[in-house]
Amino acid sequence: MDTKKISESLSPNEVKILPYLEENLNEICKKSNLDKTSVLRSLEYLQNKDLIKLDFEKKKIIEIGVNGALYKKKGLPERRLLNLLNEKRILSLEEAQKLGSLSNDEFKASIGVLKRKALIELKNKKIIFNADKSEISKKTPEEFLIEKLPIEKDNLSPEQTYALKNLENRKDIIQIKEKKIIHIQITPLGQKIMSSKIKTQDLIEQITPEILKKESSWKGKKFRRYDVTSHVPAINGGKKHFVNQSIDYAKKIWVEMGFKEMSGSMIQSSFWNFDALFTAQDHPVREMQDTFFLNKKTELPNKELVKNIKKAHESGIKESIGWRYKWDENEAKKIVLRTHTTCLSAQTLSKLKLKDLPVKYFSLGKCFRNETIDWSHGFEFNQTEGIVVAEEANFVHLLGYLKEFYKKMGFEKIRFTPAYFPYTEPSVEINVWHPEKKVWLELGGAGIFRPEVTTPLLGKPIPVLAWGQGFDRIITDYYKIKDLRELYKNNLTKLRKMKFWMK
Average the pLDDT over 245-261 and give the result.
93
Stretch among 64-68, 190-194, 219-223, 318-322 having the lowest mean pLDDT? 219-223
Number of other CB atoms surrounding residue 77 within 10 Å? 26
Instruction: Tell me which residue of 445, 448, 453 sits closest to 426, measured CA to CA.
Output: 448
Note the pLDDT of residue 6: 79
| Residue 13 host element (H or E) | helix 12-17
Between 302 and 225, the higher pLDDT residue: 302
Domain count, the chain: 2
Instruction: Please give the Cα distance from 198 to 216 (Å, whole number).
Output: 22
Average the pLDDT over 319-328 and give the result.
90
Instruction: Tell me which residue of 467, 399, 421, 469 sits closest to 441, measured CA to CA.
Output: 469
Dihedral-angle region of residue 36 (phi above 0 means left; psi in -120 to 50 means alpha; beta otherwise): alpha
- Integer angstrom CA distances of residue 152 from 42, 163, 352: 27, 14, 72
Note the pLDDT of residue 397: 95
Between 80 and 273, the higher pLDDT residue: 273
Instruction: Please give the Cα distance from 264 to 350 (Å, whole number).
Output: 14
Three-state secondary structure of 408-465 = HCCCCCEEEEEEEECCEEEEEEEEEEECCCCEEEEEEEEEEECHHHHHHHHCCCCCEE
- 353 lies in the same domain as 491: yes
- 406 lies in the same domain as 368: yes
Note the pLDDT of residue 232: 65
| 228 in any annotated domain | no
Note the pLDDT of residue 202: 63
pLDDT band at 275; cut points 50, 70, 90: very high
- 403 lies in the same domain as 463: yes
pLDDT band at 89; cut points 50, 70, 90: confident
Note the pLDDT of residue 418: 93
| 141 in any annotated domain | no
DSSP strand E in 170-281: where? 174-186, 203-204, 222-223, 260-261, 267-269
Average the pLDDT over 228-238 and give the result.
71
Top-ranked range on mean pLDDT: pick from 22-26, 233-237, 265-269: 265-269
Note the pLDDT of residue 262: 94
| 236 in any annotated domain | no
Between 169 and 357, the higher pLDDT residue: 357
- 255 lies in the same domain as 391: yes
- 401 lies in the same domain as 253: yes
Residue 340 one-letter amino acid: H
| 477 in any annotated domain | yes
Average the pLDDT over 78-87 and give the result.
83
Note the pLDDT of residue 233: 64
Per residue in 472-496, pLDDT (tens digit) is 888 887 888 877 788 888 878 788 8
| 69 in any annotated domain | no
Residue 278 confidence (pLDDT) above 90:
yes
CATH code, domain with 458: 3.30.930.10
| 101 in any annotated domain | no
Between 401 and 73, the higher pLDDT residue: 401
Q: 456 with 332: CB under 8 angstroms?
A: no
- 219 lies in the same domain as 347: no
Residue 207 confidence (pLDDT) above 90:
no
- Provide the domain limits for residue 360: 245-263+341-497
For 352-397, the DSSP string reads --GGG-SEEEEEEEEEE--PPPBTTB-SEEEEEEEEEE-TT--HHH
| 233 in any annotated domain | no
Instruction: Please give the Cα distance from 317 to 312 (Å, whole number).
Output: 6
- 377 lies in the same domain as 414: yes
- 257 lies in the same domain as 393: yes
For 68-94, the DSSP string reads HHHHHHH--HHHHHHHHHHH-SEEEHH
Q: Angle of helix 303-314 relative to helix 451-458, nearest 10 degrees?
A: 160
Per residue in 331-371, pLDDT (tens digit) is 999 999 999 999 999 999 999 988 889 999 999 999 998 87
pLDDT-above-70 percentage for the chain: 95
Average the pLDDT over 254-271 and give the result.
94
Residue 83 confidence (pLDDT) above 90:
no
Note the pLDDT of residue 492: 81
Residue 36 one-letter amino acid: K
| 194 in any annotated domain | yes
